[in-house]
């Protein structure tokens, strides 16, 4: 009987932690990718990678997160989609993004939740999330035009199947951004129009599921989110699912397909504010030119 009571108490404690503690426990991580043969035209490029903010109104704990994140001074800041959960989060989201400091600019792509919102019923949202149902099926649209307009009003650039050359002092570094692949709004071919063949290419995509296309297109680095790192991780096992239609190597972290690197961030939020062994993360992705060996 004692073991049953202990098991029940442990489960209650784990649920309380997953609902009330871990979703607020912001972590910082630095990952470094090195490139040979002067492929990277600058010595170093420091990118702040944020994703899956899922802003709704009155989320003061996310404001606290951004107070800490805004102290960072990367070269460039990118946000790979799901900036909002619902329309009522647009203002708070834009206010926080406007606080970011990045010398070369702030760039965003859209995710499925920027286009479509959850129903707002907590238990229904858990069931839909567990079933991996995408809200596009439920026709609950967010005002994506207002989101894009307000982001651009504070100086953030939204790449919707488009690209831009980063204003680095030397060389050609291009950012390409696709609209959300989950809603099938992505068009990588259109996004790459005008990008020189030999340029160093960084692709921003909400979901990592277009990794094969990115590798075929000669992308050097893909930055993605959408998986939330699995959101709930089982001890000694890891993430239960990646939420992608095409398989990816892992729910978060760094991986490589051919010459194309992929970084998936666990992100900051989720439709359902529930995390276990997968805390919110702001990631610094350092791209470095590998020094020639001495011998
Ligand atoms: Fe998300």
| CA proximity to 221, closest of 235, 208, 240 | 208
| CA proximity to 241, closest of 251, 249, 226 | 251
Mean pLDDT, range 200-225, rounded to an integer: 96
CA distances from 281 to 49, 133, 183, 289 (A): 9, 25, 25, 25
Distance from Cα 269 to the centre of ligand 1, integer Å:
7
Label residue 186 by pLDDT band (50, 70, 90). very high
Query: Rounded CA gap, 290 and 226, in Å?
Result: 30
Distance from Cα 260 to the centre of ligand 1, integer Å:
23
Distance from Cα 114 to the centre of ligand 1, integer Å:
9
- pLDDT score of 178 more than 70: yes
Label residue 132 by pLDDT band (50, 70, 90). low
Q: Any idea which of 93-107, 109-123, 141-155 has the lowest mean pLDDT?
A: 109-123
- Cβ neighbours around 186 below 10 Å, total: 24
Distance from Cα 220 to the centre of ligand 1, integer Å:
24
Mean pLDDT, range 241-256, rounded to an integer: 81
Query: Rounded CA gap, 151 and 92, in Å?
Result: 11
pLDDT tens across 134-160, in order?
555 556 889 999 999 999 999 999 999
| Structural domains of the chain, with CATH | 24-289 (3.60.21.10)
pLDDT tens across 31-87, in order?
999 998 788 989 999 999 999 999 998 899 999 999 999 999 999 999 999 999 999
Protein residues with C-beta less than 5 angstroms from the ion ligand 1? 52, 82
DSSP 235: T
Distance from Cα 227 to the centre of ligand 1, integer Å:
7
Distance from Cα 267 to the centre of ligand 1, integer Å:
8
> Sign of torsion, CA 74 180 254 229?
positive
Q: Any idea which of 129-133, 269-273, 274-278 has the lowest mean pLDDT?
A: 129-133
- pLDDT score of 295 more than 60: no
């Amino acid at each position: 009987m004692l073991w049953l009571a202990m098991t029940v108490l442990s489960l209650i404690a784990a649920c309380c932690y997953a609902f009330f503690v871990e979703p607020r426990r912001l972590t910082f991580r630095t990952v470094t990718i090195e490139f040979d043969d002067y492929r990277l035209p600058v010595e170093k490029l420091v990118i702040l990678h944020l994703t899956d903010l899922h802003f709704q109104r009155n989320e003061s704990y996310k404001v606290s997160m951004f107070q800490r994140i805004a102290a960072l001074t990367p070269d460039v800041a990118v946000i790979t989609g799901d900036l909002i959960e619902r329309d009522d989060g647009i203002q708070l989201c834009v206010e926080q993004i406007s606080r970011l400091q990045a010398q070369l600019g702030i760039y965003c792509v859209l995710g499925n939740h920027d286009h479509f919102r959850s129903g707002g019923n907590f238990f229904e949202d858990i069931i839909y999330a567990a079933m991996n149902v995408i809200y596009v099926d439920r026709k609950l649209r967010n005002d994506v035009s207002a989101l894009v307009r307000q982001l651009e009003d504070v100086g953030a650039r939204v790449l919707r199947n488009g690209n831009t050359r980063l204003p680095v002092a030397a060389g050609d570094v291009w950012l390409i951004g696709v609209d959300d692949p989950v809603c099938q709004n992505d068009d990588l071919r259109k996004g790459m129009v005008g990008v020189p063949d030999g340029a160093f290419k960084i692709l921003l995509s909400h979901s990592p599921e277009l990794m094969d296309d990115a590798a075929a297109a000669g992308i050097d680095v893909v930055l993605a989110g959408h998986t939330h790192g699995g959101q709930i991780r089982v001890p000694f096992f890891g993430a239960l699912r990646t939420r992608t239609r095409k398989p990816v190597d892992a729910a978060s972290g760094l991986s490589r397909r051919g010459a194309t690197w992929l970084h998936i961030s666990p992100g900051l939020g989720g439709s359902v504010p529930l995390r276990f062994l997968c805390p919110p993360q702001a990631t610094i992705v350092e791209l470095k030119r590998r020094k020639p060996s001495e011998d």
